[in-house]
Every structure is written in C-alpha cells, then in structure tokens.
Amino acid sequence: MNTTETIKEEQTFTMPRIGDKAPEFKAVTTQGGINYPSDYKGKWSILFSHPADFTPVCTSEFMTFAHLEEKFEKANCSLIGLSIDGLYSHIAWLRTIKDKIEFNGMKNIEVKFPLIEDISMEVAKKYGMIQPGESKTQAVRAVFFVDPNEIVRAIIYYPLSLGRNFDELYRALIAMQTADKFNVATPADWNPGDDVIVSPAGSCGVAEERMSSTEGLDCKDWFFCTKKLDKDLVLDSILKK
C-alpha cells in the first residue's frame, strides 16, 4: 500500500475524541443548508448517522427521534441526522414515514429536524462514521453529543443491526447537563432524583473532613461520597418551560 492509500485508509477511521472541538462542515439538509457546529452554538446538539434511507431499523429510529424531538428541544438540544443518501431520497423516505408507516403506536410522524445529504461521505468520514469492517458504503449508527461550546462530550456507536435506545440517549444528555450545572458526577444507572457523586477528596485533610461531615454527604469511604440532588431542582435548571 502506497503512502496516499495509507493516508486515505487512516482518514476512513478518523473520528473526533471526547473533549475535541466538533469538526466543522457545511451541508445540504432536508431543512435547508446548515453550518455545523456554529449554527448550534449556545445549544446542545446530537449529530447522529444511520446506514440508509428506506430501511426498517432506521425507519423505527427516525420515527422515535421525531416523536421525542420536542422533549430534546426542551432540554436545549437539537437533533441532526445524516446518511450517505441524496436529498431527494431523504425527502421521499420522510414522506413515506409520515404517510404510511406505523410503529410502536406512532403514526403520521413528521420528521422536522434536518437530515444531512452526504453522498460524498465527506461528513461521515470526518466523524468516523464509516467503519469498513462493518460496511464501506453505509454509515454505522454513530451518536455525537456536542455541547453549547461546540465540544464533543460523548460518543456512542452501534452496529448496523442494532437500533438505539433513545431513553439512554436522553438520560445521557440530562446527566451531562446535571454534571455541568452542579459540579457533580452521576453513578451507574443514574436518573434525575437519584443521589449524585461528589468529586473525590484531593487531600488527606479533606478526606478526613468528609468522613466526619454531617453536611448532607453520605461517604462509604473517603473516595466514595454521594449527596442528594432533588429531581425538581435538576429538571427546573435544565428544561425550558
């Protein structure tokens, strides 16, 4: 393999890392042109890819995301979809979803968030959505959470055959916003109203103080302290009224 081929192969696998600035791109979508991520500065966004239009798993996912779009918007988060299909295919598929498809009690679902045309695979490659071991011609089910400062905060990847868990995508969004707002961490399976984790003590003195503290901390040991965080306080600080 020559140098040019090696570079091209490496670019196929390249993807942003957590903490990186989200790679910039301009694109045509079903809702007009977008300039990402700058058009979404000041908001959270979820950029997600799907393998192809007119496929059943993708159809179930788009219906679910469209059904939940208002819920994500209330959490200051916009949705942006992508596949390597063309714009007219996107439009025809979304019209078919609205006119003909019923899933999990949902029907007449109109997808209002933008779906990116990416025939050249430029955006998909820039975000590492093309995984040659899975498919060289379809994007896997990638999910990028980008914060209001245009920083990638979380990345979740699914294979072509596995539909995403949308409750988990929403939970992850709320958990990250909670961590930012209250300077805490969230334990396994956390949901709003559950106890949160306080950052580990940075010195022996602080560790000793925590173990003897009566100020709302529940310390199992010096490094494992939790505290209560009211569900209403969390949601009121995040969700738009």
Q: Using the Cα atoms of residue 137, residue 69, residue 14 and residue 37 in order, give the sign of their dihedral.
A: positive
Task: Say whether both 16 and 97 belong to one domain.
Answer: yes
- Cis? peptide before 192, omega within 30° of 0: no
pLDDT in tens, 52-74: 999 999 999 999 999 999 999 99
Percent of the chain at pLDDT above 70? 87
Task: Say whether both 158 and 46 belong to one domain.
Answer: yes
Task: Say whether both 42 and 94 belong to one domain.
Answer: yes
pLDDT in tens, 107-133: 999 999 999 999 999 999 999 988 878
Task: Say whether both 9 and 80 belong to one domain.
Answer: yes
**Structural domain tally of the chain?**
2
Please check whether residue 169 lies inside any domain of the structure: no
Please check whether residue 124 lies inside any domain of the structure: yes
- CA distances to 34, 70, 76 from 170, in Å: 23, 12, 12
Residue 141 is assigned to a ligand binding site: yes
What CATH number does the domain containing 198 carry?
3.30.1020.10
Structural domain containing residue 231: 183-238
The answer to whether 168 touches 153, Cβ cutoff 8 Å, is: no
Residue 55 token pair: 């496929």
Task: Say whether both 215 and 119 belong to one domain.
Answer: no
Q: Please tell me the predicted confidence (pLDDT) of residue 6.
A: 45
Q: 146 has which bridge partners?
A: 45, 152
| Distance, CA of 22 to CA of 15 (rounded, Å) | 10
DSSP of 51-97: S-TT-HHHHHHHHHHHHHHHHHHHTTEEEEEEESS-HHHHHHHHHHH
Please check whether residue 22 lies inside any domain of the structure: yes
| Distance, CA of 151 to CA of 19 (rounded, Å) | 6
As annotated, the active-site residues are: 58
Task: Say whether both 120 and 206 belong to one domain.
Answer: no
Using alpha carbons, select from 106, 239, 103 the residue that is nearest to residue 173: 239
Please check whether residue 205 lies inside any domain of the structure: yes
Is the pLDDT confidence value at 211 over 80?
no
Domain stops at, among 128, 163, 198: 163
Domain stops at, among 163, 193, 216: 163
pLDDT in tens, 134-146: 877 688 899 999 9
Please check whether residue 34 lies inside any domain of the structure: yes
- Specify the higher pLDDT residue, 223 or 61: 61
| Distance, CA of 18 to CA of 144 (rounded, Å) | 9
The answer to whether 146 touches 22, Cβ cutoff 8 Å, is: yes
The answer to whether 214 touches 163, Cβ cutoff 8 Å, is: no
Task: Say whether both 145 and 233 belong to one domain.
Answer: no
pLDDT confidence of 4, banded at 50, 70, 90?
very low
Task: Say whether both 115 and 157 belong to one domain.
Answer: yes
Please check whether residue 178 lies inside any domain of the structure: no
Task: Say whether both 62 and 96 belong to one domain.
Answer: yes
Is the pLDDT confidence value at 90 over 70?
yes
Percent of the chain at pLDDT above 90? 73
Task: Say whether both 138 and 33 belong to one domain.
Answer: yes
Is the pLDDT confidence value at 10 over 90?
no
| Distance, CA of 153 to CA of 137 (rounded, Å) | 27
- Specify the higher pLDDT residue, 35 or 139: 35
pTM of the model: 0.89
What CATH number does the domain containing 22 carry?
3.40.30.10
Is the pLDDT confidence value at 106 over 50?
yes
CA 212 to chain centre: 39
Please check whether residue 194 lies inside any domain of the structure: yes
Task: Say whether both 138 and 231 belong to one domain.
Answer: no
State the average pLDDT for the chain.
89
Is the pLDDT confidence value at 77 over 50?
yes
Q: Please tell me the predicted confidence (pLDDT) of residue 219.
A: 86
The answer to whether 240 touches 76, Cβ cutoff 8 Å, is: yes
Q: Please list, in sequence order, all residues whose beta carbon lies within 8 angstroms of the beta carbon of residue 230, skipping any fewer than 6 positions away.
A: 193
| Distance, CA of 157 to CA of 166 (rounded, Å) | 13
pLDDT in tens, 178-204: 999 999 999 999 999 999 998 875 555
Task: Say whether both 96 and 211 belong to one domain.
Answer: no
Please check whether residue 81 lies inside any domain of the structure: yes
Using alpha carbons, select from 67, 132, 72 the residue that is nearest to residue 103: 67
